Amino acid sequence: MPYPHAFFALQLTFADKIAALSGQSFQEMVLRYTAMYRILGLDWSLDPSHPVWQDYLQGMRQAPADAEWSHQVYLARCDQIPTHPTPNWGCFAYTYSPEWPSVHLHFANVDTSGVGPLSHQRQQARLAELRAMFTHIKQTHPDTIEVCGGSWLYNRPAYTRLFPPEYAASAQADRPHLIARALWGQFLHHDEQINQEIASLFLQRLSALEDMEQYAQCFPYQVLLTKAPIGLFYRFYGID
């Protein structure tokens, strides 16, 4: 389901405040302090000369704080933008790093039940997906030593109960990565509508922000980094 208009308004409001505090241009802050570049399906280079980004900025100059333009550009491109790594096992996917043999977990809501992907009703479905994925990891990358993660979702017991307790207990706060879509996901319900309670708290804190270096405090949930030996996962999911 496409992101709502309000999702873009939150990010542009944030960029506008950071621009005012820093004295830098609004357009530059949209590039560096929001997830718009990635939301439009562009890579991690943040190349401001990219034709898609330049077209986007041309329209933005007409109404820099208007989220409608951002929303319309996104809607015109969203069908061609991948939302989840492949291959995936339901809501889960991973990337493998051979340098220090490890896997990094990814989560995306592709659950169509309507009751929420992390609800009690869907807990067994998520555990089955993880069991299947870790079975694949063991068969495909048997040298894997460690499992890593990084998401605001590790603040939520409904998410951490899907993993070994030691993995959840390892969580440590990280500086927000504003260009990644994951951090901004805390403002969306499972149906992709705005979580008004979280959004209101964010805007309240943003309004009171006086030092841009303290911007992380505006976000109700911080990104948490996690890691644990992969053997804990094999035991947790009953994988021989």
Do 183 and 35 meet the contact criterion of CB atoms below 8 Å apart? yes
Q: What is the pLDDT of residues 118-174, one digit of tens each?
A: 999 999 999 999 999 999 999 999 999 999 999 999 999 999 999 999 999 999 998
Distance CA 188, CA 165 (A): 26
SS3 for 65? coil
Going from the C-alpha of 17 to that of each of 14, 136, 195, 212, the distances in angstroms are 5, 45, 21, 9
With bands split at pLDDT 50, 70 and 90, how would you rate the model's confidence at 82? low
**To 10 degrees, what angle do helices 67-77 and 51-60 make?**
150
User: Is-contact 6 199, C-beta < 8 A?
Assistant: yes
Full-model pTM: 0.86
pLDDT averaged over every residue in the chain: 93
User: Residue 72: which residues within 8 A CB-CB, separation 6 or more?
Assistant: none
pLDDT digits (tens, 9 = 90+) for 20-38: 999 999 999 999 999 999 9
- Long-range CB contacts for residues 42-47, cutoff 8 Å, separation at least 24: 44/179, 46/179
- Backbone phi and psi for residue 192, each to the nearest 5 degrees, phi listed first: 70, 15
- The answer to whether residues 1 and 192 touch, using CB atoms and an 8 Å cutoff, is yes
Q: Is the dihedral of CA 218, 222, 223, 225 positive or negative?
A: positive
Each residue of 106-122: pLDDT tens digit? Answer: 999 989 898 999 999 99
Q: What is the pLDDT of residue 166?
A: 98
